[in-house]
Amino acid sequence: MRLDKFLKVSRLIKRRTVAKDVSEQGRVWINDREAKASSTVKAGDELKIQYGQKIVTVRVERIVETTKKDEASGMYTLLKEEARQPDKLDWQA
């Protein structure tokens, strides 16, 4: 399944267009490699997603085309949630 669709179906990101934008900005990694919206996601992959000042790491458990809202969290396992380390430019400004 495409990365942008997985992020939307799993409800990690609410809209597919937002998932595409986030991916194209280099804020999503699959197995420690920067990913584009069209990258393929499969069960067992580890995703890192940067949301503002935090980074969320999840493991993909299953791939389904559609799911109900309360079952969406079963598509992944939350591994880690951490604050993003500020870049050098952040503290120099």
Q: Is residue 64 part of a domain?
A: yes
In angstroms, rounded to a whole number, what is the distance separating the alpha carbons of residues 84 and 50? 8
Q: Is residue 91 part of a domain?
A: no
Q: Which two tokens stand for residue 29?
A: 């990694």
Q: What is the DSSP letter of 13?
A: S
For residue 8, which phi and psi values (nearest 5 degrees)? -75, -50
Q: Which two tokens stand for residue 31?
A: 């197995």
pTM: 0.84
Q: Is residue 37 part of a domain?
A: yes
Q: What is the DSSP letter of 84?
A: P
Decide if 82 contacts 55 (C-beta within 8 A). Answer: yes
Q: Is residue 90 part of a domain?
A: no
- Higher local confidence (pLDDT), 92 or 59: 59
Domain that holds residue 30: 3-83
Q: Is residue 50 part of a domain?
A: yes
Q: In this predicted model, what pLDDT tens digit does every residue of 35-54 receive, in sequence order?
A: 999 999 999 999 999 998 89
Q: Is residue 27 part of a domain?
A: yes
At residue 86, the pLDDT reads 66
Q: In this predicted model, what pLDDT tens digit does every residue of 62-84 receive, in sequence order?
A: 999 999 999 999 999 999 999 87
At residue 6, the pLDDT reads 96
Q: Is residue 92 part of a domain?
A: no
Query: pLDDT confidence of 93, banded at 50, 70, 90?
Result: very low
Q: How many domains does the chain have?
A: 1
* 34: CATH: 3.10.290.10
- The angle formed by the CA atoms of residues 81, 50 and 39, to the nearest 5 degrees, is 115
